[in-house]
Chain A
């Protein structure tokens, strides 16, 4: 199947700093990518839809100024958590659909810990 990578796999930062997470589709192009957040023992919550060449679409309740998304190319989307706080500590996962079907491929996730 298709491969989606994320970098870094984990990151620890101080409160108030910004952190960038990359999501890459390695063997296919993705005009759309999705960013999810997952708290311990909970389900995946969609944060935003990343669109190549246009602005991201954010889900209700997600602060667009705090979670900056840039879909720089057909294989790369980045999520920047600005002015991170301990409550932003979570597992961030991206996904990308391939082809004309509904199937999405998920990245391995990035564990963010804000001290």
Chain B
């Protein structure tokens, strides 16, 4: 079945450095790729998303890139801050038109002050 692989599972960076999280999806019909930030004990919060007709999208310190041919998409966070510390999940739409997502396994990001 369809799946989404996410790497790394944990990531520690110094404050001010950049962080990159990568995901690979398997469903060729996937056309929507959101990224969520989840803090302990809370629900996921959408931080950025990208659609299959776009290769890159940026929102202040956060950017997402998509390579449809390779079925890869990545999250880039620049100038990291301690408050960026959280678990980040990528997701891919199933392509069935029902808004269903398949989530990656998550990346625990720690930003060291």
B100 close to chain A: CB less than 8 A: yes
* A49 contact from B93, B100, B102, B104, Cβ within 8 A: B100
A34 touches B89 (CB 8 A): no
**Number of interface residues, chain B, beta carbon within 8 A:** 23
What is the 8 Å Cβ interface bit string for chain A, positions 85-115, against chain B (1 contact, 0 not)?
0000001010001000111111111010000
Residues of A within 8 A of B34 (CB): 102-104
B99 touches A109 (CB 8 A): no
Among A4, A49, A103, A104, the one with the most B-chain Cβ atoms within 10 Å of its Cβ is A104
Interface of A is mostly: strand
A26 close to chain B: CB less than 8 A: no
A104 touches B99 (CB 8 A): yes
A43 touches B43 (CB 8 A): no
**Number of interface residues, chain A, beta carbon within 8 A:** 25
Which residues of B, 12-71, contact A by the 8 Å Cβ criterion? 31-32, 34, 36, 41-46, 49, 51
Interchain CA distance A67-B88 in the complex, whole Å: 27
A1-B46, A105-B46, A106-B36 known; A44-B100 Cβ under 8 A: no
Seen from chain A, the residues whose Cβ lies within 8 Å of a Cβ on chain B are 1, 4, 6, 32, 34, 41-46, 49, 91, 93, 97, 101-109, 111
A43-B89, A44-B89, A49-B100 known; A107-B43 Cβ under 8 A: yes
